[in-house]
């Protein structure tokens, strides 16, 4: 058995005009906290493993994916496993080679730092192979502000270009630049809601919002109403996790057993995930699908 098929989870969100909450996993405790929070909310989510997380684990993706797969299998709600912001061709190939047979549901092929023609070429090449491996594929057009400091938050995705990009590549979902910025520690980003609506009208596949940690709850709801169908959250979980660890260690400078401070940090992740789920996708309240 594997993680839930991501295409099915996104299709359900499209049908109910809501979005799939998608959370970045760094280690086992993040994954446990995310699954716990989603289970309490009763809402399907994605566990996202980024290229940066894979590098943190020494370059190998299999152990963390295997752990996520086991957690997904045991969860009372559907949990999909997504490879996030994969730029390295070697990791794209490995993710596709492992495919749905290993429990992976989807991959974001991130060629957004390349020029348009190379982005199309790289993405289209991966899409055919990923589909053959049973994967739903996300790509990005118009680099989302803030990532590695390489792009200004003012970047925007053009609707006509986005429609052409989807037609030329065959991707299943598109990450768009609409005002959010990666790694924000404050929740005060404003989104271009009219652009989201224009993109949703022009693009025949679900739209993905990145950098959602910095977006206030009411703006997340408005983004979903305007047509966003997958919402990525990472930094906010790390703020909650690290804040919990910091306050524990500040109060006890003799602590040595990591379980003492990691357990409340994992709970802090679970609490925040539950809240995000309830904000992002109340319409997805559901039991686990049989598969």
Catalytic residues: 84
- Identify the residue whose tokens are 């919002």: 209
Site for ligand G3H in 21-80 (CB under 6 A): 24
CB 230, min distance to Zn ion, A? 11
Closest distance to ligand G3H from the beta carbon of 236 (Å): 6
Cβ-contact 156, 175 below 8 angstroms: no
Return d(Cα 92, Cα 109) in angstroms, integer: 7
Least Å distance, CB 187 to ligand G3H, is 10
- Residue span binding ligand G3H (CB under 6 A) among the ranges 38-46, 128-136, 234-242, 278-286: 234-242
Report the alpha-carbon distance of residue 174 to residue 179 in Å, rounded: 15
Site for ligand G3H in 192-231 (CB under 6 A): 210-214
| Cβ proximity to Zn ion, 182 vs 244, nearer residue | 182
Binding piece for ligand G3H, criterion CB under 6 A, among 33-41, 55-63, 182-190, 195-203: 182-190
d(CA 118, CA 115): 5
Beta-carbon contacts of residue 172 (< 8 Å; ≥ 6 apart): 7, 10, 106, 136, 137, 138, 205, 206
- Interacting residue with Zn ion among 210, 229, 230, 266 (CB under 5 A): 210
CA-to-CA distance for 139 and 16, rounded, in angstroms?
A: 23
Is residue 233 a contact point for ligand G3H (CB under 6 A)? yes
Does residue 183 touch ligand G3H according to CB under 6 A? yes
**Using CB atoms within 10 A of its CB, is residue 88 exposed (0-12), middle (13-18) or buried (19+)?**
middle
**Minimum CB separation from Zn ion for residue 210, in Å?**
3
Please report the DSSP string for 10-30 in residue order. HHHHHHTT--EEEEE--SHHH
Out of 34, 81, 184, 195, the residue judged to bind ligand G3H by CB under 6 A: 184
| Smallest separation (angstroms) from ligand G3H to the CB of 234 | 3
The DSSP secondary structure of 143-157, one letter per residue, reads PPBTGGG-S-TT---
Total interface residues for Zn ion by CB under 5 A = 1
Contact 24, 264 (CB under 8 A): no
Q: 239 exposed, middle or buried (CB, 10 Å; 0-12, 13-18, 19+)?
A: middle
Identified binder of ligand G3H from the candidate list 182, 229, 230, 266, rule CB under 6 A? 182
- In this complex, which beta carbon is closest to ligand G3H, that of residue 213 or of residue 291? 213
Shorter beta-carbon distance to ligand G3H: residue 18 or 48: 48
Least separation in angstroms between residue 82's CB and ligand G3H is 9
d(CA 35, CA 274): 9
> Residue 184 binds which one of Zn ion, ligand G3H, none, with CB within 5 to 8 A depending on kind?
ligand G3H
Q: Which residues contact ligand G3H (rule: CB under 6 A)?
A: 24, 84-85, 182-184, 210-214, 232-236
Contact positions toward Zn ion, by CB under 5 A?
A: 210
């Amino acid at each position: 058995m594997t993680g839930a098929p991501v295409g099915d989870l996104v299709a359900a969100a499209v049908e109910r005009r809501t979005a799939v909450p998608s959370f970045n996993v760094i280690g086992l405790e993040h994954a446990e906290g995310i699954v716990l929070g989603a289970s309490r909310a009763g809402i399907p989510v994605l566990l996202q493993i980024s290229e940066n997380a894979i590098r943190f684990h020494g370059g190998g993706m299999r152990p963390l994916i295997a752990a996520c797969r086991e957690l997904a299998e045991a969860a009372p709600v559907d949990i999909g496993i997504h490879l996030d912001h994969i730029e390295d061709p070697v990791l794209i190939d490995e993710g596709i080679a492992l495919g749905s047979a290993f429990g992976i549901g989807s991959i974001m092929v991130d060629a957004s730092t390349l020029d348009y023609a190379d982005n199309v070429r790289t993405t289209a090449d991966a899409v055919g192979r990923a589909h053959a491996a049973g994967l739903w594929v996300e790509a990005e057009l118009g680099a989302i502000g803030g990532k590695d400091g390489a792009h200004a938050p003012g970047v925007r995705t053009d609707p006509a270009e986005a429609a052409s990009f989807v037609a030329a590549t065959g991707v299943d979902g598109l990450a768009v630049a609409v005002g959010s910025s990666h790694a924000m520690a404050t929740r005060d980003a404003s989104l271009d809601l009219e652009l989201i609506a224009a993109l949703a009208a022009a693009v025949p596949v679900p739209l993905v919002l990145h950098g959602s940690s910095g977006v206030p709850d009411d703006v997340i709801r408005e983004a979903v109403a305007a047509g966003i169908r997958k919402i990525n959250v990472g930094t906010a979980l790390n703020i909650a996790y690290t804040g919990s660890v910091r306050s524990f260690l500040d109060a006890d400078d003799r602590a040595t057993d990591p379980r003492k401070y990691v357990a409340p940090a994992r709970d802090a992740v679970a609490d925040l995930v539950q809240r995000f789920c309830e904000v992002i996708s109340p319409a997805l309240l559901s039991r686990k699908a049989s598969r």
